[in-house]
Structure 1
């Protein structure tokens, strides 16, 4: 069983919303074969607690436009790891230190990744090759 088309659509929109708020290291995982409670995880990093909150707000706003409301929102007070549960999609926005420590991608390494490309290619190019073309 693979993630539903709706779950993939929401996960990719969540990933784009996170990218629009300058989240880093965005990964979309199809966890549908391992978990019965959700189809996709979106994992993103932010450098500060304020940015974590901005990313979370951006994701929630974008998915609401698509008719998805979060069932739960956890960890917002601390701003270090916020979880948004949209049922078919669970979004994890983590401060860089938490991302490194908990390494969700390693825990779910057997799950296939869903390809995500930032629509703003200038951010993608900079993320892949910082300083490219500079002398």
Structure 2
């Protein structure tokens, strides 16, 4: 059996706020939250089997360079949905701007950035 991705941990400015829009837009739930390393806080949000660990340190440092131009940068996070158009409508209603739409074999996709500048790909397979 191949390995299964259980979670990804990345840094955001406000884990609770990020988890809240993920719950609303992606239908996920908070699995756990609590104190984390370096005086930080973490929220685990996702499904029963997979999740994102949203971490904020006690004293955040702001890195302004593009993740696509540095080694070990997070370029984007992709989620698969059944209803691409409905999900895009909800994302726009939340105030995020979508773009970079594409049809490709075997599906369709678009991208958006959250308030922290993290890029998300939303894809639906035919």
Please give the range of the TM-score, normalised by the shorter of the 2 chains: 0.3 to 0.5
TM superposition score normalised by structure 2: 0.40
Which of the two has greater helix per residue? 1
Q: Which has the larger radius of gyration?
A: 2
Q: Quick one: higher RCO (CA 8 Å, sep 6+), 1 or 2?
A: 1
